[in-house]
Amino acid sequence: MNALGRYLLAPTITHLPGWLSNTVISAVMGILLLIIFKYTSDQRAIGEIRDGIKADLLALKLFKDSVGLTFRLQGRLFRAAFYLLAYAVRPMLVMILPVSLVLSQMALWYQSQPLQPGERTIITMQLSGTATDPWPSVKMASLPGEVITGPVRIISQRRICWDVRINKSDEHNIVFDVNDQRLAKSIAVGEGFMPVSVMRPGCRWKDVLLNPLEKPFPPQSLVQGIDLVYPDRPGRAAGSDWWLVYFFIASMVFALLFKPFIKVRI
C-alpha cells in the first residue's frame, strides 16, 4: 500500500488542487467498489428482491383503499429491505480491508499539513515497560532545527517530550540515540501537500494501520512509538476530518452514476 501511495496517489495529489485530487480518487474508488460489489454479491437474489419491491409499491398504489392489504404490503417491503441489507454484508466484509488501507494512505496527505520552517512542535517518545523500570539513555542525535525545551520525562507514562523548532524545509529524519541504538522518525516541513507521518508506531495493529508510512518498532524494542504534533489542514474537500466525509459522499455519487454502465444491482 505504501508503494501504491507513492506511485499512484502521490502524482495525483501533488499535481492537482486538494478538492480535485480527492474527487479523482473518490471517483476511481467508487467505481472499483461497485465492481467488487457486483462480483461478491448475489446479483440474481438482489434482482428478484428489487423486482418484488417494485411490484409491492405498484400494488400499494392500486389497492390503497384496502387497509389490510396495505399493511401486508408494507410488511413485505420492510422484510425485503432487511434481505437487501443481509445480502450486502458479504461485499462489505470483502471491501472493508482494502478501503481501510486506501484511507490510511489518503490520511497521510489530507489529515495534517506539514510544518512550516521556523514552526515549533512537540515530539513525544513512548517507552516500553512500567514506571518503576530503569530508564534508558535517550539523546537526540540529529535534528533539522533546535531544541527549545527538553527532554522532559513523564515518569508515570514512560514518555519523553521535546519542544523543538524546525528550520529546514523538505522531508527529514530526526535521529535518536537510545542506549547506543540509532532510531529515526520522519518529519515533513514545507508548503503544499506532503505525506505526513504523525507517528512511527509500535506493534499495535491499530497504530500500524493509521500510521503506515514508517516501519513499526518491534515488540522487544525499548521504544514503542514516536509521534509529532502537526497542524490541522484547512479546507472542506481536502482538510482535516472533512476529507473523509467528502470522500464517502463523492465515491457514492460516482458509484450511482456508473451503476447503469456496470450493470450492477444494489
Per-residue pLDDT tens for 65-113?
Answer: 788 888 898 999 999 999 999 999 999 999 999 999 999 999 999 999 9
Q: Which residue has the higher pLDDT, 160 or 266?
A: 160
* pLDDT > 90? residue 256: yes
- For the record, the C-alpha cell of 266 comes out as 444494489
**Contacting residues for 75 by C-beta, under 8 A, at least 6 apart:** none
- For the record, the C-alpha cell of 243 comes out as 476529507
Which residue is it, cell 489530507?
A: 110
- For the record, the C-alpha cell of 175 comes out as 535521529
Q: Is there a contact between 158 and 128 (Cβ–Cβ < 8 Å)?
A: yes
Q: Is there a contact between 138 and 176 (Cβ–Cβ < 8 Å)?
A: yes
Confidence band of 171 (pLDDT split at 50, 70, 90): confident
Give one DSSP letter per residue of 123-147, joined into a string: EEEEESS-TTSPPPPEEEEE-SEEE
Confidence band of 125 (pLDDT split at 50, 70, 90): very high
Chain centroid to CA 188: how far?
A: 18
Q: What is the pLDDT of residue 66?
A: 83
Confidence band of 120 (pLDDT split at 50, 70, 90): very high
Mean model confidence pLDDT for the chain: 93
Among 62-66, 131-135, 224-228, the minimum mean pLDDT is found in: 62-66
- pTM: predicted TM-score of the whole model, two decimal places: 0.86
Q: Is there a contact between 231 and 115 (Cβ–Cβ < 8 Å)?
A: yes
* pLDDT > 90? residue 261: yes
Per-residue pLDDT tens for 172-212?
Answer: 899 999 999 999 999 999 988 999 999 999 989 999 999 99
Residues in the chain: 266
Per-residue pLDDT tens for 41-66?
Answer: 999 999 999 999 999 889 888 887 78
Q: What is the pLDDT of residue 170?
A: 86
Q: What is the pLDDT of residue 150?
A: 84
Q: What number is the average pLDDT over the span 214-232? A: 94
Q: Is there a contact between 163 and 150 (Cβ–Cβ < 8 Å)?
A: yes
Residue 225, sorted as left (phi over 0), alpha (psi -120 to 50) or beta, turns out to be left
Confidence band of 225 (pLDDT split at 50, 70, 90): very high
Q: What number is the average pLDDT over the span 223-252? A: 94
Do the strands 120-127 and 159-166 form a parallel or antiparallel pair, or are they unpaired? antiparallel
> Cβ atoms within 10 A of the Cβ of 137, count?
9
How far, CA to CA in Å, does 42 sit from each of 39, 76, 96? 8, 20, 18
Q: What is the pLDDT of residue 193?
A: 93
